[in-house]
Chain A
Amino acid sequence: MSSLIFAVDIGWGATTAIKTAIVLAIIPAGALILGYVFLLKMMSHMQSRLGPMDSGGFHGWFQLVGDGMKFLQKEDIMPEAADKRVFAMAPIVVLMSTFAVYVVIPVGPELYVRNLDVGIFYALAVSSLSVIGVLMAGWASSSKFALLGALRAAAQLIAYELPLLLAVVGVVMQAGTASMNGIVQAQVDGEIFGFGGIGLPFILTQFVGFALFMVASQAELTQPPFDMPVAESELVGGHMVEYTGFRFLFFFMGEFGTAFAFAAIAATLFLGGWTLPGLDMDAEYMKVVGPIVLFTKVMLIAFLMFWARFTYPRFREDQLQKLAWKFLIPLSVVNILVTGAFMVWV
């Protein structure tokens, strides 16, 4: 990306710095937008209440920004028996794994940080580093509730990695490549029974994979119905229970930033990413329209995630594991087999 939209020539160091800065800015911004629109406003309206209305004047849009500032100015408290260094490092580990996912998400024709050939596998591998952060947080908090939450989280996150990955394998098989840009390209070039008008968004053929991906990503984000680790009415926050102030802000940003990232990955893999059927992929205006298209698709997918979040009660830990091991993983393997069969014979 040596020439931006303004066709200016700048060196490699500067581009990398700009890309890093943009990603660093997107994560809190994305978390804010998701949090405000879905968590505060959509949830409230579905529960027949209004949500924040006063902060910032118009329907309380400033609420989360104000919350962020509030967190930043809080006193830094650590439990007396806590392991100080590990306690401080845990939120940073979680946040780092979130940042690293954004490296491969393509936002426009040449708007990506890196075009890795193993793009999607890299993204999923790096996002599972957050398990370590969760375990660090739970252990270092020296609280029984935190420990219980962290252990539950570790078991859950590891169990749901598999359906997540296997659901993506079907998409990779159909696209022929694991690179995210390649997958977007394959969706644009594909044809539905010979009709090439709208390309082939993989949600049409990989609908099982899409459902699996949504369920598994809900579990990866420890959102209800899979929020046993953070069960609000039992463990009051699980591994995050002893965290306040800006450390809790990191966890919060990590959770919503990862939600944004997973929604973006789902939009890229299944809905066609930053492309729209009628628009020419290589045109210059796509550098502006592309991010807008992707943003819209992200909001659609996030709507589904958050809707499930506050409708369903939570699974118990053993029911959760049973769902993953006995139902989702066999289903995803069957999905791969059927995809392969279709590709060979059709």
Chain B
Amino acid sequence: MADTPIIDIDPQTMSLLADSQMNLELDNGDMILNMGPQHPATHGTLRLVVRLDGERVLSADPIIGYMHRGYEKLTEYRTYPQITTLINRIDWLSSFANEVPFIHGAEKLMDVQAPDRAEYIRTILTELSRISTFLLFLGEMGLQVGAITPAFYGFRDREYVLNLIESATGGRFHPNFNRIGGLKDDLPWGWTGECKRVLDICAKSCDDFDRLVVGNEIFQQRTRGVGIITPEVGLSYGVSGSNIRASGVDWDLRRDGAPYLSYKDVDFKVWTHPDGDSFARYWVRLQETRESINIVRQLLDKMPSGPVMAKVPRIIKVPEGEVWVETENPLGQMGYYVVSKGSTGPFRTKIRTASFSNVSICPWLLQGIYVPDVVTVLASLYFILGDIDR
């Protein structure tokens, strides 16, 4: 892979190409193939304009923005509680985890600390959403590579976790359970027992994936050595989360960043893999799912009792200030830079999402590989369109 992507079509033409106002056929025998925006391999409306020589990729240009909803502009027109419903929808598979950094930012500026029980429940729900989104990943990466069956197992086991989240919060996908200062409600009776049962099911499911997918020789042949991200290049592109841990960088914001939620009360291992290829990314996420199950079990045992909501005024007015909060979301590092001028809504919110940077490495990463490997690499990077497009 070269150090700089070769894009020798001029920017003007690339823009017109991106807008589909022009159909480009090249003279020199290369072929321009348009993967997306409707394509089963790009989860959502990502479009890749790929220049091919036979089956080899010469250059790949991701074109995003088909789902751009203008979140940063919208947050300037909303109050803080209204924004939590908005930002749920950034990464819609692990939606609880998106609210947490924003709520923490507002709480920091207001100098409010949510009670311990609320933080524990928040952590449990964040880890449950991590488990659910990783189960989906483990299933659908097998699907992208060609094995149809793992996808069904992934969805089936994810249903248990989603039912659990629904019984606690009322919503499967977009719970909207966080409030500034705590949570809306306490857990229902019998939830912890049910949670332990579901964790056992998820642990068994991880073992199933280990045997069905990771142990499969064809899967290993398709993913080993494909799409290698070196740590220095990855970090300078801003690749975070499991992707960069699969390249050997031992960095996890739950352990290394500013302490948030209840991670300081649990023991967990941060998994890395030296290879940096697609197989490593799959393997790291499998181990992290098991680790999340472990974390939730520890939290359930240690859960304190008490209120779930701190004393906050009825109308939330956040004092003037700026704060940067970052968390380890399932997709990577997610952060909010909240600028407040003392009113009921923020002045500016910069939403830093993980998939935006994870996908920006595509022009560098996809050079020189085969077309089937493009699908494998995209599947292993695991981005969500809402996360890229905001």
Contact = CB atoms under 8 A, between A and B. Distances in A.
Contact of A310 (B33, B149, B218): B149
Interface stretch (A8-16, A70-78, A167-175, A220-228): A220-228
Chain B interface SS verdict (over half): helix
Contacts of B213: 313
Given A48-B156, A148-B371, A236-B39, A314 B145 contact: yes
Contact of B41 (A43, A47, A49, A234): A234
A227 B218 CA distance: 13
B341 to A, nearest CB: 48
Contacts of B337: none
Given A144-B31, A234-B371, A234-B375, A314 B55 contact: no
Contact of B33 (A144, A225, A313): A144
Q: Chain A: interface secondary structure?
A: loop
Given A47-B153, A313-B142, A233 B40 contact: yes
Contacts of A148: 33, 55, 371
A240 to B, nearest CB: 15
B230 to A, nearest CB: 23
Contacts of A318: 370
A311 interface: yes
A310 B373 CA distance: 20
B40 A232 contact: yes
B218 A233 contact: no
A232 B144 CA distance: 8
A46 interface: yes
A319 B218 CA distance: 9
Given A48-B156, A317-B55, A234 B218 contact: no
Interface residues of B, number: 30
Interface string B194-223: 000000000000000000110010110110
A233 B143 contact: yes
Interface string A41-62: 0010011110000000000000
A225 B370 contact: no
B77 interface: no
Interface string A226-261: 011001111010000000000000000000000000
B372 A228 contact: yes
B66 interface: no
A316 interface: yes
Nearest to A310: B148
A269 to B, nearest CB: 27
B146 A311 contact: no
A43 B374 CA distance: 28
B249 to A, nearest CB: 28
B153 A225 contact: no
B9 to A, nearest CB: 18
B152 interface: yes
A48 B152 contact: yes
Contacts of B372: 228, 231, 234, 314, 316-317
B40 A312 contact: no
Nearest to A227: B146
A121 interface: no
A315 interface: yes
B216 A312 contact: yes
Contacts of A228: 372
B146 A312 contact: yes
A236 B40 contact: yes
A272 to B, nearest CB: 32
A264 to B, nearest CB: 26
A312 B152 CA distance: 14
B63 interface: no
A224 B149 contact: no
Nearest to A312: B218
B14 interface: no
Contacts of B323: none
Contacts of B40: 232-234, 236
B31 A233 contact: no
B64 interface: no
Contacts of A49: 152, 156
Contacts of B41: 233-234
Nearest to B140: A233
A313 B218 contact: yes
Interface of A: 43, 46-49, 144-145, 148, 224-225, 227-228, 231-234, 236, 310-319
Interchain residue pairs A-B with the least CB separation, the first 5 = A314-B146, A313-B146, A47-B152, A313-B147, A313-B145
Given A313-B222, A314-B146, 11 more contacts: A47-B149, A47-B152, A148-B371, A224-B146, A231-B372, A233-B143, A312-B146, A313-B218, A316-B221, A316-B373, A317-B372
14 contacts: A43-B148, A47-B152, A48-B152, A48-B153, A233-B40, A233-B375, A234-B375, A311-B147, A311-B149, A312-B147, A314-B218, A315-B221, A317-B370, A319-B221
